[in-house]
Amino acid sequence: MIKVTELKKQYKEAVVLDVTLLEIPKSECFGLVGNNGAGKTTLFRIMLDLVRASNGRVEIDGKDVSKSEEWKRTTGAYLDEHMLLSYLTADEYFQTLRKIYGLSEADLQLHLDMFTEFFNDEIVGKKKYIRDLSKGNLKKVGIAAALMGNPEVVLLDEPFENLDPSSQIRLKKLILQIKEASQVTFLLSSHDLNHVTEICDRIVLLEKGKIINDMRDKSAMLAELDAYFTG
Ligand SMILES: Nc1ncnc2c1ncn2[C@@H]1O[C@H](COP(=O)(O)OP(=O)(O)OP(=O)(O)O)[C@@H](O)[C@H]1O
């Protein structure tokens, strides 16, 4: 379970995140939406201890992420291409992660087999450096990497952005399959209301750093969000 308590992030006078309490139970598929600058990435960055909160804390399974290392073994994430090693090819990168996670070659192959359709013959076996991949293909490498090593919690920042329509559909299927087969807790931020409402059990709407709606009724989510974003 993930617990966010009295969390505040401030840059000079500007409060960009202000979340009193947010609890995300195990195996929930949690969607985070909000306009540009609402604070979605900031929340994910604090959850991953990439940015220090001005106040408050994030706990994963009872451990404060800024004070413990334990959560790192069970958490996978892809926020942006800075998380990749751009001087490696995708194969070299996956091999590096394989060693870090202590997986066998067969385990890695099994993992990559899940992504065969999603990769669309553009990623594995190519001698292209990550730095030379298209934005969509970078995202595919990052998502496959985030899901390696049997994580219990997976954070993906705008996973559908830059993916072609077929890849967006394949990614939705992949997430739904993983959800079905395991207890993974997904945290997904997205501007794509259709995708996020289709796969998430719950959607939180951020506005200027604050939670202004917490939706759990799947049948009403899309209409509520449409109404909000239409203004
Ligand atoms: N290092 C920083 N210094 C000052 N302000 C920052 C810094 N990092 C983020 N911010 C501000 O924090 C606010 C929230 O940004 P954040 O990137 O979390 O929003 P977001 O919801 O992810 O937006 P988007 O949908 O555009 O990706 C923005 O106003 C942004 O300018």
- Ligand 1 pocket member 42 (CB < 6 A): yes
What's the CA gap between 102 and 61, in Å, rounded? 23
Q: What is the DSSP string of 103-172?
A: --HHHHHHHHHTTHHHHTTSSTT---BGGGS-HHHHHHHHHHHHTTT--SEEEEESTTTT--HHHHHHHH
- Ligand 1 pocket member 38 (CB < 6 A): yes
In eight-state DSSP terms, residue 200 is -
Domain ranges of the chain: 1-74+194-231
- Ligand 1 pocket member 155 (CB < 6 A): no
Beta bridge partners of 4: 22, 58
63 pLDDT band, cuts 50/70/90, is very high
Looking only at Cα atoms, what is the longest distance across the chain?
52
- Ligand 1 pocket member 16 (CB < 6 A): yes
Phi and psi torsions of 107, nearest 5°: -60, -45
pLDDT value at 94 more than 90: yes
Mean pLDDT of 189-198: 97
ipTM: 0.98
Mean pLDDT of 206-228: 96
| H-helix or E-strand spanning residue 46 | helix 40-47
10 CA distance to ligand 1 middle (Å) = 11
- Ligand 1 pocket member 37 (CB < 6 A): yes
The predicted-structure confidence for 110-163, as pLDDT tens digits, reads as follows 999 999 999 999 999 999 999 999 999 999 999 999 999 999 999 999 999 999
User: CA distances (Å), 126 to each of 73, 109, 121, 133, 143, in order?
Assistant: 29, 15, 9, 10, 18
Helices 135-146/90-101 angle, 10° precision: 10
- Ligand 1 pocket member 1 (CB < 6 A): no
33 pLDDT band, cuts 50/70/90, is very high
- Residue 62: how many CA atoms within 13 Å on its side-chain side? 0
pLDDT value at 231 more than 90: no
158 CA distance to ligand 1 middle (Å) = 14
Q: Check residue 51 and give its pLDDT.
A: 97
Which class is 1-74+194-231 in CATH? alpha beta
Instruction: Using most ligand atoms within 8 A of CB, pick from 8, 16, 18, 196 the residue to mutate for ligand 1.
Output: 16
173 pLDDT band, cuts 50/70/90, is very high
14 CA distance to ligand 1 middle (Å) = 11
- Across the chain, what does the average pLDDT equal? 97
CB 143 within 8 A of CB 156: yes
Q: Check residue 96 and give its pLDDT.
A: 97
CA torsion 159-42-70-181 (nearest 10°) is: -30
How many CB atoms are closer than 10 A to CB 132? 11
